Structure 1
Amino acid sequence: MAPAEDDISIEEKRVYAGSAGRTDAYVATESGVVRVALSADKVGAFDMVARDPARGAAVLPRRAAPDLLGVATDDGLLVAPVGDDIAFEPVEVGPAPAVAVGVHDGAFLVAGDDGEIDRIAIGSDATAGDATADDATADDATATRIGSVPDPRAIDGPLVAAADGVHRVNEGDAAESGPSLVSVGLDDARDVAGSGMPLAATADGLYWLGNGWMPAREGDAEAVAADGDGHAMAVVDGDLFVHESDGEWGTEAWNAAELPVDEEPVALGYGPGVSVAVTDAGTLCVDAGDGWRHQVVGVRGVAGVALAVVE
C-alpha cells in the first residue's frame, strides 16, 4: 500500500531516480489520475493526483519548461506541468466532455464525445510546427476544429482511432485550409500508435501500414503503443505481444510476452528506456530490458497511461 501523499517527501520520491533518472507514469482511470514514480524498472511511490474520472492522458514536450500533462475528462481537457506538485487547470476551449487526448506537432489533439476533434495549442502565438510557449498556461490555449469522426476511441500522433476505422491529420496549407482529418482505412479501430511505423488495433486484428494496412496479428486487438524507434507493444485476444526491432512488422516479428501477473493488460506506454503495461486489475508492469517488474496500484477502469521524464 502506498503511503499517503502528505507522507511522501520530495526526497523520498527522488530515491527512485538514482543514476537512471525518474520517469513518472500517469494512469488515467475511472477514479482519477494515478502517478507512479519509475526509475528504470524500479517502481517507487504512487499517489492520486486528480480525482476527476479520466478517459485518457498524453504528455506534450516543451523545450525549456516542464512538459505538460493533458487529461481528457467529462469537463474537457485538464493540463498541468509535470513535476513533484501537480496542479491541473481546465482548458476553457475545445470539446467537453473529452473522451481521448493525444499530442501532435506541438499541440494537444482532443476528441469530444460528439466526435469533434480539436487541435489545442497552449500559447496564444502557438502555430502548427512550433512547440508551445515554454511559460504558457491553460489560459493561453487556442482551439482549432480539424474534423469529426464517429465514436472516437484513441489518439496518438497524427492518428485517430474511431468506429469507422483510422483517420489521419492532414496538415494542409495553414494559409488556406489548415489541418483536417482524412480517413485512411480499416474498421472498428480501438487504438493507434502514431510514432514511427503507424499501427492500429482493431476488432479484426493488429495492423501496420506498409503498402496499405498489412496484418500483424489476427484476433481481437484492444491496445497498441510504440516508441518511434522500432519498439512496440500490442494486446491481442488479451495477450501482450512485443516488437523489438525496426525491421519486419509481420506476424513473425511479434513475440508473446509473459507479464508477472495473470491479468489482462489494457493500457500501454513507453518512456526513455522503459515499457509500461497497466492491467485491468490495476497493476502497473514495467520492463527496462531485464524482465517485467510490477506494482499493484489498486485502481479500476484503466483508460490509458502516459509517461513523462521528471529528472
Structure 2
Amino acid sequence: MAPAEDDISIEEKRVYAGTAGRTDAFVATGSGVVRVALSADKVGAFDMVARDAARDVAVLPRDDGPDLVGIATAEGLRVAKVGDEPKFGAPAGEPAVAAGVHDGAFLVASEEGALDRMSVEVIDGRPTATVDSRVGTVSTPRAIDGPLIAAEDGVYRVTGGGGTGADGYDVVSVGLDDARDVAGSGMPLAATGSGLYWLGNGWMTALTGTATAVAADGDGHAMAVVDGDLWTRDGDEPNGEHERERGQETDGWDSEDWRAADLPVDEEALALGYGPGVSVAVTAAGTLCVDAGDGWRHQVIGVRDVAGVALALVE
C-alpha cells in the first residue's frame, strides 16, 4: 500500500496508538471496507477488513463492550466488533443501501425503502444483526444519520413514544426534496440538490448549490460538500462575530458561519465523518484526509467507489 503522505516515521507509526490513543476510520467502498488507524492527525496502518461491496457504514457505540461497526451490503447488514481483528458476522435483514445508528440500535434502509431497527447478538464468537422492528418505509433512501433519513423525495425523521410503528417508533416526512445526505447530531442538517439546509423555523438555507455530503459532531462543528467544495463550521459561539457585525441575533448556521476549507489534495470529498477530536474527509480518488485542529494531513488508501466513512474509538 502507498506510504503516508506526511513525514511520519515508521517508529512513530508503531508507537502512536499507545501514546495518543487510537481511532479507527472505516471506509465503505465498492471493493470492501478499509480500516485506517488514526492517532489525532497521524495516519497509521490501513487494511481491508471486509471484501463485501459496502454501500454504507455506521458505528454503534457501546458502554459494555467494544463498539460495533455495521456495513450495508447487497446481502444485508453485516456487523463486527471494533478491534485489532474485526470479524464480520453473517448478513441479516434485506439488501441494504444505507445504515445509521439511532437510540441504541442500527437503523438500516433496504433497497425497497424499508426501515428496520436491528440489534446485535454474538453467535459463535461473531456479532450478528437481527431485525427488531419495521419502523416504516421511505422512497429511495440514500443516507441515515441519527433519526434522519435522506431520500429522493426529501428528509424523514424517526420518532418514538406513541407512534403507530412497531415498538412505538414511526417515520414521518419533514420536508425538502432530493436529499443526498443528512446529519442528525446536534443541529439537523440536510444536503440536497438545491443546497445545504439547517432546521430552524422550518428548513433554512445555509449554502446554495448542489450539496452532496454533510456531517456534524453534535457540538456545533460541521462539514459539507457543496458544488464539489468542502465547507466547515466551527463550534457553537452564541452571538458570535458574524452576528455582532450584522447586529442580529441568529442561531449561527447561515452562510456567513461557514468557511471554505482547502484539502491538501485537489480532489473532491465524497464521504465525511467525525471522531473524538478529529474530522475526516475521504475523496473520490481514495485519499483520506484528517484534521485534529492543526490543519489537514492525508494518506492515499488506494480505493475507489467510496460510499461512506464512520469512526470508532479503539483506545
Q: What TM-score comes out, normalization by structure 1 length?
A: 0.89
Contact 1:33 1:51 in 2 (8 A): yes
CA shift for structure 1 position 139: 4.4
* 2:100 matched residue in structure 1: 102
1:80-102 Cα deviation digits (max 9, x unpaired): 0000001000243x22x100000
Whether the 8 Å contact between 1:2 and 1:45 is mirrored in structure 2 is: no
The 5-angstrom pairing of residues 279-294 of structure 1 reads 279-294=283-298
* Matched position secondary structure for 1:54: coil
Residues in 2 aligned to 1:65 and 1:72: alpha-carbon distance in whole angstroms:
22
Cα RMSD (Å): 2.1
| 1:241-288 residue CA offsets vs partner (Å, 9 max, x unmatched) | 000022400000000000000000000000000000000000000000
Partner of 1:52: 52
Contact 1:203 1:221 in 2 (8 A): yes
Q: Does 1:197 align with 2:200?
A: no
Aligned-residue sequence identity (percent) comes to 71
Moved more, 114-123 or 297-306: 114-123
- The question of 1:206 aligning with 2:196 is answered yes
Contact 2:135/2:165 (8 A) holds in 1:
no
Q: Which runs of no fewer than 5 residues in structure 2 stay unpaired?
A: 4-10, 239-251
For 2:128 and 2:30, how far apart are their aligned partners in 1? 26
The equivalent position to 2:147 in structure 1, one of 133, 137, 158, is 158
* Paired residue type of 1:147: G
Unaligned runs of 5+ in 1: 4-10, 124-132
- Higher mean alpha-carbon deviation, 12-21 vs 58-67, is at 12-21
Q: Which residue of structure 2 aligns with residue 8 of structure 1?
A: none
Q: What SS is found at the alignment partner of 2:141?
A: coil
* Shift, 1:137, TM fit: 5.7
- Show the counterpart of 2:76: 76
**Is the CA contact 1:56–1:304 (under 8 Å) kept in the aligned structure 2?**
yes
Whether 1:27 and 2:27 are equivalent positions in the alignment is yes
Change in 2 beyond 3 A, CA 1:176/1:86: closer
CA distance in 1 between partners of 2:12 and 2:83 (Å) = 14
* Correspondence list, 1:82-93, <5 A: 82-92=82-92
Distance in 2 between the 1:231 and 1:20 partners? Answer: 22
Partner deviation per Cα, 1:170-202 (whole Å, 9 max, x = no partner): 113379851010000000000000000000000
Which AA in structure 2 matches 1:109?
L
Quick one: which amino acid aligns to residue 208 of structure 1? W
Given that 1:2 and 1:46 are in contact with CA atoms closer than 8 Å, whether structure 2 keeps it comes out as no
Which stretches of structure 1, 4 residues or longer, exceed 4 Å deviation after superposition?
11-14, 174-177
Contact 2:75–2:91, Cα closer than 8 Å, also in 1: no
Displacement of 1:121? 1.7
Q: Is it true that 1:143 corresponds to 2:147 in the alignment?
A: no
Correspondences of 1:166-177 after superposition (within 5 Å) = 166-173=155-162
- Residue deviations 1:204-242, cap 9 Å, x none? 000000000000000000000000010000000000000
Separation (CA, whole Å) in 2 of partners of 1:44 and 1:304 = 20
Q: How many residues align?
A: 292
Paired amino acid for 1:62: R
Separation of aligned partners in 2, 1:295 and 1:51: 21
